[in-house]
């Protein structure tokens, strides 16, 4: 069996999660590790019998097929553009970029190079959200409205999480996942009414957004960065005709099937997080797409769509004009 040779750019926590999963695939060889901290790169590379690299060009010259970009948010665009120019297939962690202009430029480069480019929105593969998607697609529940909450306990640890120059802004952190989920479950956003303020931190840390989707579905979206870690800090509620679905983070999901009917519940609390949070399935999907050179389940265009929403949110609060109509 010919193996896909993979290189990692950014050997921090999430990068190591991906490597741990990839190491279990018979058709993958972890060939290289690159990190600004060379001692960390050496430590991780030794674990997987891989080579330490200091640049992408050497990775390409050694025959590596695909790279995972798991560096800090602001560097994703730089590494992704370089990797695509060199001819790599790319898995890029969220957020794809931290500006709409960069997202559009990256989309053009992916199309120009005809590369397999997958974005790391793992929630699409998480058990709870896969369950919701299946119920909607099968027609068992037709959504008319929704509520989404994506909170964070604090922006203290690690210290850089409150530095917009480092992250791009609070919405580019975990909140970006639920913007993608809104689009994946309910379709494209047509217009929003956006309110945000700086309550505790220098960045905008409280958000309240009303959404209207192009298909007429209505929803609310809130995100708070100082809510403590009281659970559930992540939740989607979907409302149908006397039906409802909801989740408790990525641990449990519930489906009320109608008035006077049963509630179907699934509890994944004892399942390994790499499985239930979707990391195993998203990695498997990317490797299969590289091998078959096919379109991945989370594309660069999906990334542009989400960055466009976040860009519109920041422009709304900074301009003082909360009503936004999304184009494109």
pLDDT per residue over 219-270, tens digit each?
A: 999 999 999 999 999 999 999 999 999 999 999 999 999 999 999 999 999 9
Q: How far apart are CA 169 and CA 73, in angstroms?
A: 10
Q: Beta partners for 235?
A: 149
pLDDT > 70: percent of the chain: 99
Which stretch of DSSP H or E encloses residue 316?
helix 300-319
- The domain spans of the chain are 4-121+279-298, 124-272+307-325
- 3-class SS of residue 238: strand
pTM, full prediction: 0.96
pLDDT at 328: 64
Superfamily of domain 124-272+307-325: Dihydrodipicolinate Reductase; domain 2 (3.30.360.10)
Q: Which CATH architecture has domain 4-121+279-298?
A: 3-Layer(aba) Sandwich (3.40)
Contact 238, 246 (CB under 8 A): yes
Contact 80, 20 (CB under 8 A): no
Residue with the two structure tokens 């030794």: 46
pLDDT per residue over 290-316, tens digit each?
A: 999 999 999 999 999 999 999 999 999
pLDDT confidence band for 1 (50 / 70 / 90)? low
Answer positive or negative: Cα dihedral of 45, 46, 49, 52: positive
Q: How far apart are CA 119 and CA 297, in angstroms?
A: 9
């Amino acid at each position: 069996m010919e193996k896909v040779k993979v290189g990692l750019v950014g050997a921090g926590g999430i990068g190591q999660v991906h490597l741990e999963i990839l190491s279990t695939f018979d058709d993958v060889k972890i060939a290289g590790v690159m990190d600004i901290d060379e001692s960390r790169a050496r430590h991780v590379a030794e674990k997987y019998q891989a080579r330490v690299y200091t640049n992408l060009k050497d990775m390409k010259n050694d025959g590596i097929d695909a790279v995972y970009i798991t560096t800090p948010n602001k560097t994703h665009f730089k590494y992704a553009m370089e990797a695509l120019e060199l001819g790599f297939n790319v898995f890029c962690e969220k957020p794809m970029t931290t500006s709409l202009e960069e997202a559009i430029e990256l989309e053009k480069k992916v199309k120009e190079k005809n590369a397999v480019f997958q974005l790391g929105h793992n929630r699409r593969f998480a058990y709870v959200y896969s369950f919701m998607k299946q119920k909607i697609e099968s027609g068992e529940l037709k959504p008319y409205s929704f509520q989404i909450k994506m909170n964070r306990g604090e922006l203290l640890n690690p210290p850089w999480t409150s530095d917009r120059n480092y992250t791009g802004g609070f919405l580019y952190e975990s909140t970006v996942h639920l913007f993608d989920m809104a689009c994946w479950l309910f379709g494209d956003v047509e217009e929003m009414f956006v309110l945000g303020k700086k309550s505790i931190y220098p960045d905008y840390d409280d958000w309240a957004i009303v959404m209207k989707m192009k298909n007429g579905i209505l929803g609310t979206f809130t995100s708070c960065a100082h809510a403590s870690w009281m659970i559930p800090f992540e939740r989607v509620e979907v409302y149908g005709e006397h039906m409802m679905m909801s989740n408790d983070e990525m641990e449990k999901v519930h489906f009320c099937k109608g008035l006077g009917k049963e509630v179907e519940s699934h509890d994944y609390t004892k399942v390994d997080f790499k499985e239930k949070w979707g990391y195993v399935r998203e990695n498997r999907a990317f490797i299969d797409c590289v091998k078959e050179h096919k379109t991945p389940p989370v594309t660069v265009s999906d990334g542009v769509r989400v960055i466009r929403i976040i860009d519109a949110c920041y422009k709304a609060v900074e301009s003082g004009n909360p009503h936004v109509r999304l184009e494109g």
